[in-house]
Structure 1
């Protein structure tokens, strides 16, 4: 059954309490909600699908305690951020994040991006390198690698069947929100590593993300990012984007990937080094699946700190 609008949670349901503060910033024509803690050099944590800022709950406090200003925004279309009718192309979402840096009174940030947030981070680094000090990319290939795989790699095409299923209007939103957004839980269970999927923490996270997807227009906003990604492949805007992304980024880049990631295959993400002209490091986390910040939170936090300090 589809939840009636009156039965759906509102955006305030993701303003979860903790050792962080909730704020809103106006940037690039939208209002972005952020969870923030600490003071010092800025670290921006960009979540993926089907999540919201809470995916970084483990890193927010740990990185803040280490002496950093840590900010985890909800991307446009997700959580408590605005969900405009359009646009949802990755260049616009990247501009949201680049302008968020200045809206917070900062000059630059270390960008840490997971999944969709990783694609956004790669794009910010290419289009606005002046605001990016370092990159940490989790479970996300360079956009040129992913876009090529969507049309040429049969294994990744199979792993991305959900993305192709998102392309029709309306029915994917209905499928994603049916029965309390059980489809969100199914996708998470499919993509998560076995160790995390059997824990209480996973069950809590799954419930949080299912409920957040029921916020009005959240399913639409989340899916529009993927509709642009596929529909733009043959279009002039997508061709221009792919061409511009061929120029390597020029900041130190750390890339972490789960060896058991069945959503973005490790072979798809490998080879991203050709799009980095600075120091680059790749690590495979052999036992992990797709959700590295939650599956191996201490490892991720430690690697972020090591990379920033190196």
Structure 2
């Protein structure tokens, strides 16, 4: 019988160091970019925390850990993923925002810029609204404001068809977990291929990356934890906590916002991004040419250029 992979498989070597941080009652795995020669100590540099999307782990930010400068760069395995703890509960917006706020403080900083993709971006929005003192700005990739995405999915047929069938299938017990983990995680590769651009799919970078993702989703409880994010997003709409969360998200957002979306993204469509401007009217909204849902991996140079302008506005 084949044994499931150990969480240590996510400690991929590179120009970064791995360590663990305790925050909000659980343990998180963190990858931090090695500082450049002569740079200031970590505590004296502005903190940037990067949060991955569904079915991934910190490694999705490898190009940003290598390419961004001028800040303390950390990429985190979210609750339930990779080398982080996988508790049975805590996959609601309130707790996830508390995780991120706790991480910022546990890393020795009073505030941070948050960068998130997809589900990780939704955590950025929630943290900025629920813990505004610890968030100096947010940059999100294919992750519209949660109220805007909900409205677009419910009123636009194209966005609804892109988003809702998968979300609804994930509400079933047991079967989605088996789907994600069988055949050595082949379903994760299918999902990524269906949402990414052809150029990246033909690259060596994709081949290496998808191998890491397929192993990581088979770590015990990782698939279940990943699905709990999706389950809460749907089930909370029928509960009081979901309505309270939605109301809390409707308050004006005071911090700077950058939203990046690949113009070939078939999963998050432009309408949801346009609606996001009602909630963050002073944000910057940038389309990444030729990229799909994973623009930070598909077009890292273009994304890093936009992120550097956002992190260092005086250079822009």
Partner in structure 2 of residue 34 of structure 1:
30
Aligned residue in 2 for 1:190: 194
- Aligned 8 A contact 2:101 2:127 in 1: yes
Most deviating of 146-155 and 102-111: 146-155
Cα distance in 1 between the residues matched to 2:93 and 2:6: 26
Q: Deviations over 1:270-289 (max 9, x none)?
A: 22121126x31111113110
Q: 2:277 aligns with which of 273, 279, 297?
A: 273
Matched, 1:221 2:225: yes
Deviation at 1:225, TM superposition (A): 0.3
Match of 2:134 in 1: 131
* SS of residue in 2 equivalent to 1:136: strand
**2:260 is equivalent to residue 256 of structure 1:** yes
Residue of structure 2 in register with 1:45 after alignment:
50
Match of 2:169 among 165, 174, 181: 165
Question: Does the 8 Å contact 1:248/1:274 carry over to 2?
Answer: no
Q: How does 1:1-310 map to 2 (within 5 A)?
A: 7-37=3-33, 38=35, 39=42, 40-63=45-68, 66-160=69-163, 161-276=165-280, 279-310=282-313
Provide, for residues 215-254 of structure 1, a one-character-per-residue CA deviation record: whole Å limited to 9, x for no partner: 0000000000000001111210000000110012101111
User: Hey, what's the Cα distance between the residues in 1 that align with 2:97 and 2:20?
Assistant: 17
Unaligned runs of 5+ in 2: 36-41
The answer to whether the 8 A contact 1:147-1:233 is kept is no
3-state SS in 2 of match to 1:33: strand
Aligned-pair RMSD on alpha carbons?
A: 1.2
Residues 180 and 188 of structure 2 are in contact (CA less than 8 Å); yes or no, is this contact kept in structure 1? yes
Structure 1 regions of 5+ residues with no counterpart? Answer: none
Q: Distance in 2 between matches of 1:56 and 1:42?
A: 15
Q: Do the aligned partners of 1:32 and 1:80 also contact (CA within 8 Å) in 2?
A: yes
Distance in 2 (CA, whole Å) between partners of 1:148 and 1:220 is 27
Whole-Å Cα distance in 1 between the matches of residues 209 and 13 of structure 2? 15
How far apart, CA to CA, are the structure 2 residues paired with 1:269 and 1:231? 23
Cα distance in structure 1, aligned partners of 2:201 and 2:71: 30
Q: Distance in 1 between matches of 2:72 and 2:265?
A: 30
After superposition, give the CA deviation of every residue in 1:70-96 in whole Å (9 maximum; x if it has no partner).
010000011100110112102211110
TM-score when normalising by structure 1: 0.95
